[in-house]
Amino acid sequence: AVSQITLDQPGSAVVNPSGTLKLFCKVSVSVTSEHWAWTWQAPGKGLVYIGYLDSSGRSYIVPSFDSQVTFTRDSSKNDISLQMTSMKSADSGTYYCARHTVTERSEN
């Protein structure tokens, strides 16, 4: 059985053009026990995968976001964060945090 994990995110944030966005996501389990993913959805568009922070604190960010995005975590507060620099109007939308499910596949 998979235990339920609760994630609390802020409602909204406003950032000036070329400014920096920082979002926090508070989780109900230890941040060091799971991998945590961030995704983004522009209005009327599909969900876009940004990357994830693994349980040991390493970040894996897709190339299109790599120069803009930093993931961090604070184990004392049980939160993870996304920082995105040089924001543009095209970056508007909804940003989501979630527990990252890692699937291993072997090629034969």
Name the strand (E) or helix (H) holding 41. Answer: strand 36-41
Q: Which two tokens stand for residue 51?
A: 């990357």
pLDDT at 2 over 60: no
Domain boundaries, given as residue ranges, for the chain: 18-99
pLDDT in tens, 6-31: 777 767 788 889 999 999 988 888 88
pLDDT of 51 reads 97
CATH code for the part of the protein at 18-99: 2.60.40.10
Q: Which two tokens stand for residue 27?
A: 């989780």
Q: Which two tokens stand for residue 85?
A: 């620099």
pLDDT of 3 reads 57
- CB 6 within 8 Å of CB 27: yes
In this prediction, residues 36-48 reach a mean pLDDT of 95
